[in-house]
Chains A and B, each alone.
Chain A
Amino acid sequence: MKYSYRWLSSLVKNIPKPEVLAELLTMHSYQVESIEKIGNDWVLDIDVLPNRMPDSAGHIGVAREISVLIKKPLTLPKIDRTVGMKLPKNILSLAVAPKGTARYIASYIEGVSVKDSPLVIRERLTMCGMRPINNIVDATNYVLLESGHPVHAFDYDKIVGKKIEVRFAKKGERITLLDGQVIILMPKHLVIADGEGPLALAGIKGGSRAEVTKDTKQVVLETAVFDPILIRQTSRELGITTDASSRFVQGLPYAELNVVALRLRDLICDIARGKMIGFSDISLVKSSKQPTVTLRVEYLERLLGVRVSEKEVADILERLGCRVSKKKVGVFLVTAPSWRTDLVQEEDLIEEVGRIFGYERITSKPPHAPLVHPHEHSRRAVADEVGRFLASNGFYEVLNYSFASAKDGDLELANSLTTEFTHMRASISSGLLKSVATNLPYERELRLFEVGNVFRKAKKSPEEKVVLGVVLTTAKKTADLFYEAKGTVESVLESLGVTDILFEDIGDHVVEWPYSQKKLIHPYRSVFVRKDNKTLGVLYEVHPDAELKIPAVIIELALDIVDIVVEEEVAFQEIPKYPMVVRDLAILVSTNDRVEDVTSTIEGAGGAFLADTDLFDYYEGDTIGAGKKSLAFHLIFQSQDRTLTDEEVVRFVADIIAALRKEGWEVRS
């Protein structure tokens, strides 16, 4: 909000230079966003905090704050407190609905002459970003900028039926606002109406029907406080924010509303030479007396972490306008002034003392706290461990938005900004594929991963899970990429101490959330990753229908499940003392036979000393005939307590060969 420096200096004595003032307000009250010199004045753009809007939305409020900070007196405009008679019924009858309005003051002024306002008023309005119109409208805007309180003027002669009602609109009633916009009203909208219909949208904007023009002779002035929640709902729903509505929504004080109304009357009688005939003041809310709050200096010091003398505490609160009385040593009873409706509890007062005292006077102190060992969240630790492992093995970590389009999401946003982000993402793959597309112009051998939450709608509540997603791409389609990914799964899990995992073909099985939808999964190049009947994840080549420009394999691991199977302890196994014996075996099998089956046949027949079976070569081609593949294994024999003899090993191998032949496989030398 904009404030004129010269206007402020007319309200408080010995005001500091603009830059110094800005610093002072920023450090103790609210932030001065900018200072702009215009002519012989400066405009301060102040970001008044929401809780300070009720007292500081006008020049008097900010000047009062300055006077507190620099300990100089405030000079308020002189106001004639004589009210005179109530509005006579024959001039104007006034009715205010019991809900939606806290206080409503209307006054009738006759014989105004509409013309330009005096220069000083026009200048001040202009400085604050308002356009001077005529002396009546300018007076209302001037009072707004001075007091922070929105007021309104109606052309009396345009009011139909000599009556003003503050009421809720009838369904379908219309109003044409000052800017020409036509609104069709609903019964939830509060309006100011006459005998014909709505004249103004309460607290938001005036209508054009009773607009003050150069021909206006009599005016009705409105000074009111409306229900902030009601104004807020209407303002938001209709999309209309005005200088008035932005103040009303913060809940304005109304204890001294009559002062604002009289100031407006004075100003109009002065600059438009009118005469007030009647003044009606209707209060619908009971006494707005400020609560008395107990303030313990000991608590103040404990909360701020600094010593403040009782004298200084009382002095600051009194400067702020509070009534302060000492209950006993170290305890005050404090009543805030009418304009500070935000000071209702002890901590509010502590904040006031703290900021005026100066937060820069609070020096850092290490806290006293028990020496605790912070609990470590194991799933978080697993996620970080995996990330570090992958990053040290050539993978780049990406970070995608948690939002996705309708096809990749299940939980829908009610107010999304774009068509790209209408849902929370249901799988980790949608982002990974986006990251692949981003980088394809520079790199075709991508190794990327992301750890993040994925979402779905469960029974009556959303559900989210943490998933690790890894994607590998290569320029030319090859099965090797799948095997590299398989090795990645194994080494990631091994790095966490998880061994003995199984890979099972997905085939016709259902793939459930949190993993990707099956349409993304290649039906013949895809497996579940399992451990002890738990599914830890899936591993698959991306289905060609996904129309990715490059072959890609994706791994998805549900980290909360992985966390369950992680074993903390790794037990030492003795390093073999005796030499191992290696024999090689080449086996000719059908292309449909699975390596896993061959390996398990070998291991089933190899005996206790067969320590490992290693596939080291694989061949498919003309020399061995169509429909066949050749698999070459290292067979590693090892005993923990002696050196194996040649004869023994020959016997073990013979057993293996026999078992393989029994399965119908041909063993080559």
Chain B
Amino acid sequence: MKSLEEIRKEALRMLREVQTLGDLEALELTVFGRKQGVLTEVLRSLAAMKEDARKSLGAEANALRHDLEKVFSEKKAEIVRKKRLIDLEQEKIDTSFPSIRREEGHLHPLTQLRMRVERMFQSLGFEVAEGPEVDTEYYNFDALNVPKEHPARDMQDTFWLTEQGLGEKYLPRTHTSSVQVRYMETHEPPFRIIVPGKVFRNESTDASHDVEFWQLEGLMVGKDVSVANLKDILEIFFSKIFSTKVFIRLRPSFFPFTEPSFEFDITCVNCKGKGCSVCKQSGWLELGGAGMVHQNVFASAGYAKGEWQGFAFGMGLDRIAMMKYKIPDVRMFRQNDIRFLGQF
């Protein structure tokens, strides 16, 4: 019969050679087997021993049994772990294969911009208002202090509808400013609104002009709304839209419906105002027109003159989208080529 020490050494030596769960099972039989297990044999021999020898050897044998069971179970866990890893390796895939994607659609880039613009202004408390795309001469021109026969009507070349069967002169609106008096007729200041909408111009088209485009109108009226406030709102807006700090520059201009009137520029978002080919080295980009609402426009809406003051601004969304996405030709927005639309 082998000594406990011999059993321990022998068992640990053999355990090191074990590779599979089958090997481990066989070894377990050799050590713990009820019939031939070497350790079982020792335990069985205890019965024939004197009490104190039995006691001490018994305790040692049980300790050995305990130790061996522990290392055997650790070995078993290790084998299972290795086997799992081998199995998983069988499932190895080429992760560089092309992805499988659900067919996705696209919102038009102008819609995406419009939605973003609306969210932005709504967060500043502006309401999104709208009006008809075909409007009367009154709302498009007369109510905005554009005198009849005044050359200002030439500044925006206008499509007109044939007058057959219509009560008055109608036109596809030349600007979203047509909504100003319509809104004011049914609302009392203070208020702030934006009007995103389609506008129409009767002019020959090129890379930066089209007969139809989206415009964004802004109108804020209160007791002390000022040019300084206009600058602030435009700065916040453009800084968000172009995700960079943008400054506003106002230049003198003329519109019949505002006094004072401005053209507004923003610092070139391409060169941050240093001067580049995009801004023709000026550091500034022309963005739109603005001004302080003419008191005659308030009068058209039925407000008492001198009672209210406010700013209005207008800009082309197509132009902003062109700058934002570096689109070279405005007409691409309405060609509807899916190879274009799919990029946004």
Interface positions of A (Cβ within 8 A of B)? 26-31, 49-52, 229, 232-233, 249-250, 302-306, 345, 347-348, 350-351, 354-355, 359-360, 362-377, 380, 384, 387-388, 390-403, 411-417, 421, 424, 434-435, 438-439, 442-443, 446-448, 452-453, 455, 457, 460-462, 464
Inter-subunit contact A402/B339 (CB<8 Å): no
For residue A403, which residues in chain B have a CB less than 8 angstroms away from its CB?
Answer: 211-212
Q: Would A421 and B227 be within 8 Å (CB), given that A30-B252, A414-B160 are in contact? A: no
How many whole Å from A631's CB to the nearest CB in chain B? 30
Inter-subunit contact A302/B226 (CB<8 Å): yes
Inter-subunit contact A28/B252 (CB<8 Å): yes
Inter-subunit contact B231/A380 (CB<8 Å): no
For residue A392, which residues in chain B have a CB less than 8 angstroms away from its CB?
Answer: 104-105
Pick from B224, B259, B334, B337: contact of A368, CB below 8 A.
B224
Inter-subunit contact B151/A376 (CB<8 Å): no
**Residue on B with the closest CB to A441?**
B337
For residue A376, which residues in chain B have a CB less than 8 angstroms away from its CB?
Answer: 128
Q: Which of B111, B192, B336 has the most CB of A within 10 A?
A: B336
Q: Would A31 and B251 be within 8 Å (CB), given that A365-B229, A395-B105, A402-B198 are in contact? A: yes
For residue A30, which residues in chain B have a CB less than 8 angstroms away from its CB?
Answer: 252
- 28 A–B contacts from the bound complex (CB under 8 Å): A49-B254, A50-B152, A51-B254, A229-B149, A304-B226, A304-B227, A304-B228, A305-B228, A306-B227, A359-B252, A364-B248, A366-B229, A367-B225, A369-B125, A369-B222, A371-B125, A377-B128, A391-B107, A397-B111, A412-B162, A412-B164, A413-B159, A417-B211, A434-B336, A438-B336, A442-B337, A442-B338, A464-B132
For residue A411, which residues in chain B have a CB less than 8 angstroms away from its CB?
Answer: 134, 161
Give Cα distance in the complex from A438 to B336, angstroms: 7
Pick from B111, B200, B220, B342: contact of A402, CB below 8 A.
B200
Pick from A384, A393, A416: contact of B115, CB below 8 A.
A384
Q: Would A232 and B149 be within 8 Å (CB), given that A351-B260, A460-B166 are in contact? A: yes
Inter-subunit contact A447/B162 (CB<8 Å): no
Inter-subunit contact A367/B229 (CB<8 Å): yes
Interface of B, helix, strand, loop or mixed by DSSP: mixed
Inter-subunit contact B251/A305 (CB<8 Å): no
Task: List residues 298-337 of chain B with CB under 8 A from any CB of chain A.
Answer: 309, 333-337
Inter-subunit contact A249/B151 (CB<8 Å): yes
The answer to whether the Cβ of B262 comes within 8 Å of any Cβ in the partner chain is yes
Give Cα distance in the complex from A394 to B159, angstroms: 36
The 7 closest A-B pairs by CB, nearest first: A305-B228, A305-B226, A351-B260, A364-B232, A367-B229, A359-B250, A374-B127
**Residue on A with the closest CB to B133?**
A453
How many whole Å from B39's CB to the nearest CB in chain A? 54
Inter-subunit contact B165/A460 (CB<8 Å): yes
Inter-subunit contact B200/A365 (CB<8 Å): no
Inter-subunit contact A359/B227 (CB<8 Å): yes
Given contacts A395-B105, A402-B133, 5 further A-B contacts (CB under 8 A): A304-B227, A355-B260, A363-B231, A367-B222, A399-B111
Give Cα distance in the complex from A446 to B226, angstroms: 50
**Residue on A with the closest CB to B115?**
A384
Task: List residues 173-210 of chain B with CB under 8 A from any CB of chain A.
Answer: 190-192, 198, 200, 202, 204
For residue B220, which residues in chain A have a CB less than 8 angstroms away from its CB?
Answer: 367, 369
Encode contact with A along B113-148: 1 for CB under 8 Å, 0 otherwise: 001000000100111111011100000000000000
Inter-subunit contact B251/A26 (CB<8 Å): yes
**Residue on A with the closest CB to B136?**
A461
Pick from A351, A364, A374: contact of B252, CB below 8 A.
A351
Interface positions of B (Cβ within 8 A of A)? 102-108, 110-111, 115, 122, 125-130, 132-134, 149, 151-152, 155, 159-167, 170, 172, 190-192, 198, 200, 202, 204, 211-212, 220, 222, 224-229, 231-233, 235, 248-254, 259-263, 292, 294-295, 309, 333-339, 341-342
Give Cα distance in the complex from A328 to B110, angstroms: 54
For residue A393, which residues in chain B have a CB less than 8 angstroms away from its CB?
Answer: 105
For residue A229, which residues in chain B have a CB less than 8 angstroms away from its CB?
Answer: 149
Q: Which of B122, B225, B334, B338 has the most CB of A within 10 A?
A: B338
Inter-subunit contact B235/A364 (CB<8 Å): yes
Q: Would A50 and B226 be within 8 Å (CB), given that A30-B252, A387-B107 are in contact? A: no
Inter-subunit contact B254/A303 (CB<8 Å): no
Give Cα distance in the complex from A82 to B222, angstroms: 56
How many whole Å from A496's CB to the nearest CB in chain B? 17
Give Cα distance in the complex from A171 to B212, angstroms: 41
How many whole Å from A50's CB to the nearest CB in chain B? 6
Inter-subunit contact B162/A303 (CB<8 Å): no
For residue B106, which residues in chain A have a CB less than 8 angstroms away from its CB?
Answer: 391, 396-397
Give Cα distance in the complex from A533 to B151, angstroms: 52
How many whole Å from A207's CB to the nearest CB in chain B? 25
Pick from B211, B224, B262: contact of A421, CB below 8 A.
B211
Give Cα distance in the complex from A443 to B253, angstroms: 48
**Residue on B with the closest CB to A29?**
B252
For residue A453, which residues in chain B have a CB less than 8 angstroms away from its CB?
Answer: 133, 198
How many whole Å from B132's CB to the nearest CB in chain A? 6
Inter-subunit contact A462/B161 (CB<8 Å): yes
Inter-subunit contact B249/A442 (CB<8 Å): no
How many whole Å from A594's CB to the nearest CB in chain B? 31
Inter-subunit contact A435/B228 (CB<8 Å): no
Inter-subunit contact A369/B190 (CB<8 Å): yes
Inter-subunit contact B211/A397 (CB<8 Å): no
Give Cα distance in the complex from A421 to B254, angstroms: 31
Inter-subunit contact B259/A348 (CB<8 Å): yes
Q: Which of A354, A370, A390, A397 has the most CB of B within 10 A?
A: A397
Inter-subunit contact B172/A424 (CB<8 Å): yes
Q: Would A232 and B151 be within 8 Å (CB), given that A360-B249, A396-B342 are in contact? A: yes
For residue B262, which residues in chain A have a CB less than 8 angstroms away from its CB?
Answer: 359
How many whole Å from B114's CB to the nearest CB in chain A? 9
**Residue on A with the closest CB to B337?**
A438
Pick from B115, B166, B292: contact of A303, CB below 8 A.
B292
Give Cα distance in the complex from A563 to B144, angstroms: 32
Give Cα distance in the complex from A441 to B35, angstroms: 83
**Residue on B with the closest CB to A457?**
B165
Give Cα distance in the complex from A452 to B163, angstroms: 24
**Residue on B with the closest CB to A445?**
B103
Pick from A347, A367, A399, A447: contact of B232, CB below 8 A.
A367
Pick from A52, A377, A400, A460: contact of B130, CB below 8 A.
A377
Inter-subunit contact A417/B202 (CB<8 Å): yes
Inter-subunit contact A462/B341 (CB<8 Å): no
Inter-subunit contact A303/B251 (CB<8 Å): no
**Residue on A with the closest CB to B153?**
A232
How many whole Å from A51's CB to the nearest CB in chain B? 5
For residue A232, which residues in chain B have a CB less than 8 angstroms away from its CB?
Answer: 149, 151
Give Cα distance in the complex from A354 to B106, angstroms: 46
For residue A370, which residues in chain B have a CB less than 8 angstroms away from its CB?
Answer: 190
**Residue on B with the closest CB to A421?**
B211
Give Cα distance in the complex from A372 to B222, angstroms: 13
For residue B128, which residues in chain A have a CB less than 8 angstroms away from its CB?
Answer: 374, 376-377, 380
Pick from A26, A27, A347: contact of B294, CB below 8 A.
A347
Inter-subunit contact A365/B104 (CB<8 Å): no
For residue B170, which residues in chain A have a CB less than 8 angstroms away from its CB?
Answer: 461-462
For residue B339, which residues in chain A have a CB less than 8 angstroms away from its CB?
Answer: 442
Inter-subunit contact A439/B309 (CB<8 Å): no
How many whole Å from A411's CB to the nearest CB in chain B? 6
**Residue on A with the closest CB to B127?**
A374
**Residue on A with the closest CB to B235?**
A364
Inter-subunit contact B233/A367 (CB<8 Å): yes
Give Cα distance in the complex from A177 to B232, angstroms: 55
For residue A452, which residues in chain B have a CB less than 8 angstroms away from its CB?
Answer: 198
Q: Which of B204, B227, B309 has the most CB of A within 10 A?
A: B227
Give Cα distance in the complex from A397 to B342, angstroms: 9
Q: Would A399 and B172 be within 8 Å (CB), given that A376-B128, A464-B134 are in contact? A: no
Inter-subunit contact B167/A460 (CB<8 Å): yes
Give Cα distance in the complex from A473 to B310, angstroms: 50
Give Cα distance in the complex from A391 to B334, angstroms: 18
Inter-subunit contact A400/B334 (CB<8 Å): yes
Inter-subunit contact B105/A364 (CB<8 Å): no
How many whole Å from B120's CB to the nearest CB in chain A? 12
